[in-house]
A and B are shown apart, each in its own frame.
Chain A
Amino acid sequence: MDAASDAALVARCLANEQGAWDALVDRYARYVYAIAARVYRLEPSDAEDVFQDVFARVFERLETLRDADALRPWIAQTTRRCAVDTLRRSGRETVVDALPDGPDEGLAELDEAMTVHAALGGLPPDCREILDRFFTRDESYRTIGTELDLPAGTIASRIARCLARLRDVLQPDAVSRAGKKADRPRVG
């Protein structure tokens, strides 16, 4: 998910290339959703309105984006604006001030999360799927075992193995430090 690939995606969208818009939505749907639902803590119906409004704005104004490398900050800013407008309309503006980490810290965390999510693309499909199901779709061991036809007793070890592979994709030199505490990865 580097800036260059965002610029290429914007160019493909502006050329009305088949599938380009779908790819943009797939790439940024989780980001927009997380800003609305996690950073600004909107109710589900408000989060859905913000989600649709953001993509409508992006779709309509994509050609006005001066720097195609700035797609992510532009989408973040658009989502923030829509979320704040929604809170303002519902008289819940004070919610923003009450957020424990504040919107800026929440967005920084999501930017880091986008880097991790993009790194999933460097894993084999089976690892990608099991991590996605467990961590982002919140599926249980039992559901994952049934869906992927795996013994439930092996799920935890597979997840651990896939997480270690993802760590290596993000930070190859982390292998030697695996197991050390108080040492968080620099994934950004």
Chain B
Amino acid sequence: MRGRKPTARASGEKVKKTPMTTPEERIAELLRALPAPPQGWLEAAKELPTARRELDTIVERIERDERFRELVRADLEEALRAEGVEPTPAVVALLRRRLDA
């Protein structure tokens, strides 16, 4: 095997780069591969169903109110705040997606 690039064995089993590990070490390595994201990110993503209901009203207003539409174009986050909606990253991402659609 010396000098050969490890790709795959004939059986289809992948050749790992660090073969001298125990099953427990490999499991530990795989556990480390999925670290927890910051709690705030999760909470923001979980807000999406609530945010969608709030955004329905805002999108409606954007469609019928030209002045508000301009405000949104100029500063989306400030426009959300003016409507009493906290511009969390999840809410902003969702609104941008809806406006781009």
Q: Which residues of A contact B (CB under 8 A)?
A: 16, 21-22, 25-26, 29-34, 37-38, 48-49, 51-53, 55-57, 59-60, 109-110, 112-114, 116-117, 131-132, 135-138, 160, 163-164, 166-167, 170-171, 174, 177-187
Contact = CB atoms under 8 A, between A and B. Distances in A.
B74 interface: no
A178 B19 CA distance: 15
A29 B37 contact: yes
Contact of A182 (B20, B90, B92): B20
Contact of A185 (B23, B34, B35, B46): B23
Q: How many of chain B's residues touch chain A, expressed as a range?
A: 35 or more
B77 to A, nearest CB: 13
Nearest to B41: A51
B35 A137 contact: yes
Interface of B: 13, 16, 19-24, 26-28, 30-38, 41-42, 44-46, 48-49, 52, 89-90, 92-94, 97-98
A137 B34 contact: no
A56 B33 contact: no
Given A34-B34, A137-B36, A174 B93 contact: no
A49 B23 contact: no
B34 A31 contact: yes
